A and B are shown apart, each in its own frame.
Chain A
Amino acid sequence: MAIILRLDRVMADRKMSLNELSEKVGVSNVNLSKLKTGKVSAIRFSTLNAICLALHCQPGDILEFVEEAE
């Protein structure tokens, strides 16, 4: 997919562990791990809102568009 999640990068910048983020966002470790590895097909605005709130960042910091050759 052309949209890549950069959650690991933002988490490393904020020095926040997966467990800590999981507690703050209210999403399980397993699901956050799926988000990190890009194994999800969509993300809810409510989840994105909670992540941005916990990491004090913008959605654009987490999501990145990479053009792919067809």
Chain B
Amino acid sequence: MDQKKIQSIIQKIRTSSLVMGIFCLLSSVLQAAIMLQRPLGLSTPATDRTLQLAYLQHEIAAGLSMLILLLTGILCLRMSRSGRPFSVKKSTIVFVIAILTILKAIIPSVVTAMLAGKWYVSLLSMSASSSLSEGLIFLFAALIMHYGTMLQQESDETL
């Protein structure tokens, strides 16, 4: 294989993952700052019951989003350091991101439905949530990365 082409692709992976990593980590910090701002009373808390539930649902989803962004940032920075997208740790991180994205679709709706006592609302909002399909896509990507890791290992052991 053309070594120059490989090096050029690796360089592109490094640069783009560094940019993505910094962007994700900054977004994660921003998300955390927004979440911390509310309990400090800087924004107006909701008094209405329906609004409170919507607020709680949003807070749980935001917390999970922050975690997902943090993990994506770590994944991208790791990628920019090594220049190799396929490793056991990286595919595990993608798998964890997939699980968190699926949880992001399930937990907020279930918690809100439990508090409101309306299960059909939970089902409706869960099925309407794009996080569920995003999570499944990530799960699929984790499987592909796992296969890529095996191929990378085989390539490393070939002289």
Contacts and interface: CB of A to CB of B under 8 A. Distances in A.
Interface in B7-55: none
Interface string A15-55: 00000000000010001001100001111100100000000
Interface string B118-159: 000000000000000000000000000000000000100111
Contacts of A27: 159
Interface in B57-89: none
B18 to A, nearest CB: 28
Contacts of B159: 27, 31, 34-35, 40, 42-44, 47
Contacts of B158: 40-44
A24 B34 CA distance: 61
A31 B159 CA distance: 7
Contacts of B157: 40-42
A41 B151 CA distance: 12
Interface centre among A34, A41, A43, A44 (most CB of B within 10 A): A41
Contacts of A42: 154, 157-159
Contacts of A31: 159
Nearest to B157: A41
Contacts of A34: 159
A67 B157 CA distance: 23
A40 to B, nearest CB: 5
Contacts of B154: 41-42
Nearest to B153: A41
A43 B157 CA distance: 8
A41 B156 CA distance: 9
The 5 closest A-B pairs by CB, nearest first: A42-B158, A41-B157, A40-B159, A47-B159, A31-B159
Given A41-B154, A42-B157, A44-B158, 16 more contacts: A27-B159, A31-B159, A34-B159, A35-B159, A40-B157, A40-B158, A40-B159, A41-B157, A41-B158, A42-B154, A42-B158, A42-B159, A43-B158, A43-B159, A44-B159, A47-B159
